[in-house]
Amino acid sequence: VFHLSHKVTRVVPESALLIVLGLVLGGIVWAADHIASFPLTPTVFFFYLLPPIVLDAGYFMPNRLFFGNLGSILLYAVIGTVWNAATTGLSLYGVYQTGIMGEMHSGLLEFLLFGSLIAAVDPVAVLAVFEEVHVNEVLFIIVFGESLLNDAVTVVLYNVFDTFVAIGPENVTGIECLKGIVSFFVVSLGGTLVGILFEKTVSRFTKHVRIIEPGFVFIISYLSYLTAEMLSLSAILAITFCGICCQKYVKANISEQSSTTVRYTMKMLASGAETIIFMFLGISAVDPDIWRWNTAFVLLTLVFISVYRVIGVVLQTWILNRYRTVQLEIIDQVVMSYGGLRGAVAFALVALLDEKKVGDKDLFVSTTIIVVFFTVIFQGLTIKPLVQWLKVKKTEHREPKLNEKLHGRAFDHILSAIEDISGQIGHHYLRDKWSNFDRKFLRKILMRRSAQKSRDQILNVFHELNLKDAISYVAEVLMNTYNINVDFSTPLPSTVESSVSYLLREKAGPVCLDMQALEQRRKSIRDTEDTLAHHTLQQYLYKPRQEQKHLYSRHEIMYTEDDKQDKEIFHRTMRKRLESFKSTKLGINHPKKLNKIHKRDRGQKR
């Protein structure tokens, strides 16, 4: 309903509309039963709604941009999250000591625990808003990558401070703090390793079970999430890097039909989960039992998270710009500071708090809901006008041309060679070494041989060029020689018979395609022209076939002959070009007599 009128969705983000819809629905349910029947529980969120969204984000992640800016993303996600959590918690505790907030039942560790969960920049909210704004690729990947890895860092920090609160402030010693720091790296790196290992297990061996191939991608990804959670590692990082690795190796191993199924199913699940999350955030807010108001605490939380977000982005960007080739300008820093949207991750974490350990849980829950609504609705509404007013560079939605691809690849090799000669290890040098390692070892282990051949870039480019050339050649020959106007660029209105042979039968005019009739009367000049026309059609176009019976199989999909049309055009044109190349190289002229043409046809068929 939202997307029936683009006037609404151009102004108001879909996430904000869903929250408002959830508030309305929650109000209706509360007015009817006076019971909040449908809260968003942490179990449902972390085990059923978050995994498809994070998997979708990892699977469709632009790898080159992500790993090219990985240093910046890690700085913002790790150092920035620790900065925001510590400064927000300490500032709130300091103000509380002055007595402005009134009576509360929390100490320093409880305030730091709240600071760690409120520092979670939510990838769901960021994606929902930034996809509609269309900022440039570098800015988008930094904000999105930070929000994705920020979640994992936030969950780890939350668990550390939750453990400190459980054991009591008197038992927190230097050794416990050191254990917390070590566990932070173990949990993060361990979750990443689990995701990478799970991705590399099954996809190579699914050649003979194509029909359930897409299911393996989802099952293995979800198993990586559950296994990391079971081992107390970062489940978000596990499924993120499982999706990133799936994009290259699994996509190369599975068939084209399975890849299409995976893409659409993944988008469908992620879109549905995102809709449920934002709507149930609104529904969960309509519950008087969870509300406890403290004006000073709520307002100061909003001020502190905004101010420290700006300070952290400015300081970290100043450090990064000393080492980055592409500088992050002031305008980019404004958008990054304003794009720190909070969402369902913060709400789910605050709902996990134990009332027996944290006496002010209701106040923390109420404040988190206000922060989520403020950032998603207010900042989501104003970020698009802000981007337009600041004239932020936007992304270009177009496929790079072949010339751009070739020059980009050439510059990559040149820069890696310069780094190698000068003795400096930069990201071009590292990317080149990783590509060599991937080509020599990883591809041979993780890809089938057929997938390794299909990944050859030169063959892919030649396949595309040859296919386009073959289609244009056929259209030109038919138009110039036989006055048959065939347009291959527009789709046919009928889906029943969409083959090229059907199109030619409809537009062939006076050209005879019946070989039996031609064999009986071959003497006239017109018959010779008809024979040549048939030879051209047989050589360059798809050969008409007899209708085959459609068989049923539970284990594979039976394809029609029309599905092989583009492959046959390619192979026939390839054979023709190879013959022409050999003849030109050896100085042999093409045979022009009809009997030699028929001999060559019989040889090709054999």
Q: What confidence tier does 51 reach under pLDDT thresholds 50, 70, 90?
A: very high
Query: Cα separation of 236 and 150, whole Å?
Result: 10
Q: What confidence tier does 534 reach under pLDDT thresholds 50, 70, 90?
A: low
Can you tell me whether residue 342 is helix, strand or coil?
strand
Q: What confidence tier does 227 reach under pLDDT thresholds 50, 70, 90?
A: very high
Number of other CB atoms surrounding residue 454 within 10 Å: 13
Structure letter (DSSP) for residue 169: G
Query: Cα separation of 575 and 450, whole Å?
Result: 21
Query: Cα separation of 109 and 158, whole Å?
Result: 11
Higher pLDDT among residues 60 and 38, named by residue: 60
Per residue in 422-439, pLDDT (tens digit) is 877 766 667 777 777 777
Cα angle: 13, vertex 19, 25; to 5 degrees: 135
Give pLDDT, residue 230: 92
Structure letter (DSSP) for residue 438: I
Task: Kindly give the residue spans of alpha helices, DSSP state H, lying in 168-234.
Answer: 174-199, 213-230
Give pLDDT, residue 551: 54
DSSP string, 84-142: HHHHHHHHHHHHHHHTTT------HHHHHHHHHHHT-B-HHHHHHHHHHHTB-HHHHHH
Query: Cα separation of 10 and 6, whole Å?
Result: 6
How many Cα atoms are found within 13 Å in the side-chain-facing hemisphere of 311? Answer: 10
Position 585 pLDDT exceeds 60: no
Domains present along the chain, CATH in parentheses: 2-390 (1.20.1530.20)
Position 504 pLDDT exceeds 60: no
Higher pLDDT among residues 448 and 500, named by residue: 448
- Quote the pTM value: 0.72
Per residue in 102-130, pLDDT (tens digit) is 777 778 888 888 888 888 787 767 776 77
Can you tell me whether residue 394 is helix, strand or coil?
strand
Give pLDDT, residue 447: 67
Size of the chain in residues: 606
pLDDT above 90 as % of the chain: 6
Q: Which of 191-195, 244-248, 524-528 has the lowest mean pLDDT?
A: 524-528
Q: What is the mean pLDDT of residues 368-379?
A: 88
Higher pLDDT among residues 88 and 501, named by residue: 88
Taking Cα atoms as reference points, which of 545, 540, 543, 593 lies closest to residue 569?
Answer: 540
Query: Cα separation of 290 and 365, whole Å?
Result: 7
Query: Cα separation of 424 and 416, whole Å?
Result: 10
Higher pLDDT among residues 152 and 243, named by residue: 243
Q: What is the mean pLDDT of residues 169-195?
A: 82
Highest mean pLDDT pick, 139-143, 202-206, 311-315: 311-315
List of residues 6+ apart from 497 with CB closer than 8 A: none
Give pLDDT, residue 563: 56
CB 88 within 8 A of CB 308: yes
Per-residue CA distances from 431 to 416, 419, 428, 460 (Å):
8, 11, 5, 22
- Indicate the residue type of 52: P
Highest mean pLDDT pick, 237-241, 413-417, 495-499: 237-241
Q: What confidence tier does 311 reach under pLDDT thresholds 50, 70, 90?
A: very high
Higher pLDDT among residues 213 and 503, named by residue: 213
Give pLDDT, residue 501: 44
Q: What is the mean pLDDT of residues 519-523?
A: 49
Position 28 pLDDT exceeds 80: yes
Position 354 pLDDT exceeds 60: yes
CB 213 within 8 A of CB 255: yes
Higher pLDDT among residues 373 and 451, named by residue: 373
Q: What confidence tier does 225 reach under pLDDT thresholds 50, 70, 90?
A: very high
Q: What confidence tier does 548 reach under pLDDT thresholds 50, 70, 90?
A: very low
Position 499 pLDDT exceeds 50: no
Higher pLDDT among residues 404 and 9, named by residue: 404
Q: What is the mean pLDDT of residues 31-44?
A: 76
Mean pLDDT of the chain, nearest integer: 76
Position 160 pLDDT exceeds 80: yes
Taking Cα atoms as reference points, which of 322, 394, 345 lies closest to residue 49?
Answer: 345
Give pLDDT, residue 143: 84
Q: What is the mean pLDDT of residues 6-23?
A: 80
DSSP string, 12-47: S-HHHHHHHHHHHHHHHHHHHHSS------HHHIII
Name the residue with tokens 């709902």: 351
- Note the Cα 226 to chain centre separation in Å: 21
Query: Cα separation of 397 and 134, whole Å?
Result: 9
Per residue in 452-471, pLDDT (tens digit) is 655 556 666 667 777 777 77
Query: Cα separation of 554 and 580, whole Å?
Result: 45
Position 507 pLDDT exceeds 50: no
Q: What is the mean pLDDT of residues 333-354?
A: 83
Position 6 pLDDT exceeds 50: yes
Per residue in 272-305, pLDDT (tens digit) is 888 888 888 888 888 777 788 888 888 999 999 9
Higher pLDDT among residues 545 and 104, named by residue: 104
Give pLDDT, residue 489: 55
Structure letter (DSSP) for residue 401: P
Give pLDDT, residue 291: 80
CB 342 within 8 A of CB 118: yes
Query: Cα separation of 77 and 83, whole Å?
Result: 10
Q: What is the mean pLDDT of residues 522-537?
A: 62
Beta-ladder partners of 342: 121
Higher pLDDT among residues 60 and 482, named by residue: 60
Give pLDDT, residue 460: 66
Position 527 pLDDT exceeds 70: no
